[in-house]
Structure 1
């Protein structure tokens, strides 16, 4: 797997490089510090499997640049990793075709899960914008423990490990299960929670405020 990270802050590039390594220890990461360098690397490097970029870096003139980039690299997914917290700005960015908008305040375990989802062909919308099966409304929180309580102990164990950012293979090794069995349990977890993806399941755990389910 080859990933291109574009951000003008070295600590962000280093952190994202580490998280990409959590996805695939053999991943190759190229780093750009400006939008111009990003374009140069796209011309001379790759092919890339994933592009992660900031919005406010040297050379960026606006969201038209983002849209042009998305079209240029399609079908390679583009993920925006940004300090922006305004819902309106997030919606504007997502409307340009990026696969995910990840606020820089996002927990690193969740970032890994989001990137895994994107690489699998999915997309991610921050909870502040609303997601099917996930809500941040306080009135919904009391209902979440009852959903968890209706799950089997094994499903709760699997969900705990999902929330820690483990892959299916790693979950199998931790619980002594084969890969096929793990996939069956993950499917059961998603069905029990009424969500359509691993990321949404993890978000429900985060919203519940519970560190562990078992």
Structure 2
């Protein structure tokens, strides 16, 4: 007969206590690293033209681009961009709250999705990020928009925008677009030519600036008329 006393099994080892300081340090280091990594290209592109963007790299049609400084581009091209894309470009700090709210109300009602992005937001997306939606990309877009507004200023933002925006299939920038559609560079665009390039910016793969028809033609004519308004009312004053 076994009279030995069975001892109870030892309790499992206690879980290691959490170290909140360790997690805080990790989060702090991650945040500092992200800020440093994002500041570096923004500071660099303040002075150096972005050599390529993700949109260009993943364009199956290749890419044609030809950088031209803002001082060389015909002023009506920037005015056309303001007239078409962002009438408050010179007065906002990167975001147009009214345009965003209006776009949200429109999209909530159904129908064709409409954006409320400023030229600053579009530049941040085009240079540093990828096309498409999603909260992560929109959040990063907002962050880079703040940075370029702080470090670049309006003239540089417009200069980069007019050189990286897609202006046709495999074509990037106003200068390459002018060469493609009109056979001359962007330094001597007519008001109509500048307006037609601006008219195709939202859908550069589907719209053409040569003999446009239907909506594209009407939209281009409307932009051409508003170029004069932009000039008279000083809506491009920050670029002068």
TM interval, shorter chain, is under 0.3
Bigger relative contact order, structure 1 or 2 (CA pairs below 8 A, ≥6 apart): 2
| TM-score, normalisation: structure 1 | 0.25
**TM-score under structure 2 normalisation?**
0.23
